[in-house]
Amino acid sequence: IHICSLNYVKMEDSESQLLSDEYQPPETLLGSLDIFVFSLIAGLLIYWFFFRKKPEPVLDLKTFPAVPPPIRETSFIEKMKKTNRNVVVFYGSQTGTAEEFANRLAKDAHRYGMKGMATDPEEYDMSELSRLKEIPNSMAVFCMATYGEGDPTDNAQEFYDWMQGTDDDLEGVNFAVFGLGNKTYEHFNATGKYTDKRFAELGGKRVFDLGLGDDDSNLEEDFISWKEQFWPAVCEFFGVEATGEESSIRQFELVVHNDINMNQVYTGEMGRLKSFQTQKPPFDSKNLFLAPVTVNRKLNRGGNRHLMHIELDVMDSKIRYDAGDHVAVYPTNDAAVVSRIGERLGVDLDTVISLKNLDEESNKKHPFPCPSTYRTALTHYLDINNTPRKNVLYELSQYTSDPQEQENMRKMASASPEGKALYQSWVLDSERNILLLPQLQARYYSIASSNKVHPTSIHICAVVIEYTTKTGRVYKGVATNWLKNKEVTENGHKHTVPMYVRRSQFRLPFKPSNPVIMTGPGTGIAPFVGFIQERAWQKEQGKDVGETILYFGCRHKNEDFLYQQELEEFERAGVLTQLNVAFSRDQEHKIYVQHLLKKNKEQLWKLIHSNNAHIYVCGDARNMARDVHTAFYEIAEEVGGLTHTQAVDYFKKLMTKGRYLQDVWS
């Protein structure tokens, strides 16, 4: 997408230059005939410029001075000095959690006589970190989430690149890091660990030990435990004491607009107002493309689940993608739930409102696009299905009239064992939710198609999330149930999905002749459908395509053998060299993909060790990816004669070389 946009701009620039060069007046003196001819041409040009229909004027940049772009403050140091801040909390956030934690730390600072600000590293010049020591008693804190294969989040990529390439002296710069990760992933908290290590290497002074949050357990519990030790360490380091003031999340003022032009009101857009009405590329997380749904079919033939294949039309978007990329879709909340919330709160959902940030120096003037209506905010911007954070429960306890309920809410907001147990049973196990919530985030799906075969459409393979909690409450996944209802009708109307494409490192080998071993049970098959399509296309182009082997797993052959017809056709055509399917529940004992891997251990070891095969794993990180990993270790030990330690090192090297790639989730 980035390349596309650069080319687009370059084309416009070159066309403007051609036009401005074409109409330069001659520099020599003119004769009578020349004057006549010139006058005629000038007249035609005047008619051309003033009477023709044209979308926009072409200006000669040599004649008209360029309007300077608005100046954006790129120095967080100068901003800190102007606003008297001495604590800056940077966040690398993909889903909003790290950003929320950063805001909480910035607000906590005032309890210790300090003043903090939460900051997106993408918006500032991070090479200025060495200047932080210019501010007395200053400190930089980093809340860094890890995404994918140990990668930084999108907004922290430039900062990460700077850390890798800089040799700046950070002596005198005080810092602390809290990482957000998931232990089910191979590269647990890699970005947080690297940030902490790199700042120490550059001479920074660590104020407190690295915190490692685990989303597989309870990320917020980890954060609270770290924070409760972090601030006493800060007090000791700087020689300050707690003021006793409580931090509060009350930071917005509600403004009701009684007389406003509705053309100025957001209706679900993430960035530019009216961007859904007037679509202009390039499309990204702030400028979404409304992709029409052209196909929505159920993939499974039985069982109590609903697995679906959806196709999005991106023909007019200039969106480009590669097999293995992710499509990000922005869902909307259930209209019936939104209406019930409106009734419960006793508000007119069509009232136009704004939430105004009371912190005038904050980068974000509103928590979501404003002005908007209550209905739009609850439908498009607030995650009304999310469970409440502990700090929100503490805040709400101040407004609770029942003493027992107030005690319970404060208990759940604490780090005590009793409070943790109550929060787990009453909030998490019951999937309870409330209005005071973070912004609704995009959902990411591995693209189930190849752009070589389907250049104008993007395919999604997903399972609809719906289950009953331990307490009998029915929980429905926001995005998958929303996508399920995007049915294709015969009346010509097409539902649309706000989306953009996020690039991935999950790529086929550069040389088609390299063998590929793909393991993807359930909807983990998604990127491999695209891979196989691309290998078929490469074969049609006359290229030497290596062995293409798939290990797929499902419950029952007659119920949820996803893409069975397509896969068997690819196998008959010789594109799919081997189709190995584990039907876990078609026999008395369970059979999973890792069992089939072990069954073919000699062939697999030869492909990996001698034939430069690339390994791909997609699907559940908590169990499947770990079990597949173990199976490969055992193959290396049993066939390759490696010790367990050697096997682990062997596959770590494959990961480093990009020959063992995972696209997994928990």
What end-to-end distance do the CA atoms of the chain give, in Å? 28
CB 561 within 8 A of CB 538: no
| Residue 525 Cα distances to 18, 51, 105, 184, 519, angstroms | 49, 58, 40, 20, 8
Q: Which residues pair with 345 in a beta bridge?
A: none
Q: What is the DSSP string of 176-240?
A: EEEEEE-TTSTTTTHHHHHHHHHHHHTTPEESSPPEEEETTT-HHHHHHHHHHHHHHHHHHHHT-
Q: How many CA atoms lie within 13 A of 657 on its CB side?
A: 14
Which helix or strand (DSSP H or E) is residue 663 part of? Answer: strand 660-665
- Annotated binding-site ranges for FMN: 93-98, 145-148, 180-189, 215
Q: Rounded to the nearest 10 degrees, what angle do helices 157-165 and 190-201 cross at?
A: 40
Q: Which residue from 251, 252, 230, 220 is spatially nearest to 112, judged by alpha carbons?
A: 230
CB 570 within 8 A of CB 306: no
- Annotated binding-site ranges for FAD: 443-446, 461-463, 467, 477-480, 665
In this structure, the strands spanning 205-206 and 548-554 are unpaired
Q: Which residues pair with 551 in a beta bridge?
A: 519, 580
Q: What is the DSSP string of 339-375?
A: HHHHHHHT--TT-EEEEEES-TT-S-SSSSSSSEEHH
- Alpha-carbon distance 525 to 570, whole Å? 14
Is residue 508 helix, strand or coil? coil
What b/e string do you get for 158-171 counting C-beta neighbours within 10 Å, with b at 16 or more? ebbebbeeeebebe
Q: E strands within 416-464?
A: 443-446, 457-463
In this structure, the strands spanning 326-329 and 614-620 are unpaired
| Residue 204 Cα distances to 129, 165, 245, 351, angstroms | 10, 16, 30, 51
CB 373 within 8 A of CB 351: yes
- Alpha-carbon distance 88 to 140, whole Å? 5
Amino acid at 430: S
Residue 12 exposed, middle or buried by CB count within 10 Å (0-12, 13-18, 19+):
exposed
Q: What is the 3-state secondary structure (H, E, C) of 382-396?
A: ECCCCCCCHHHHHHH
- Alpha-carbon distance 381 to 353, whole Å? 13
Residues ≥6 apart with Cβ < 8 Å to 193: 179, 210, 212
Give catalytic residues, as residue numbers: 446, 618, 663, 665
CB 230 within 8 A of CB 236: no
Phi, psi for 76 (deg, rounded to 5): -70, -25
- Annotated binding-site ranges for NADP(+): 305, 523, 584-585, 590-594, 627
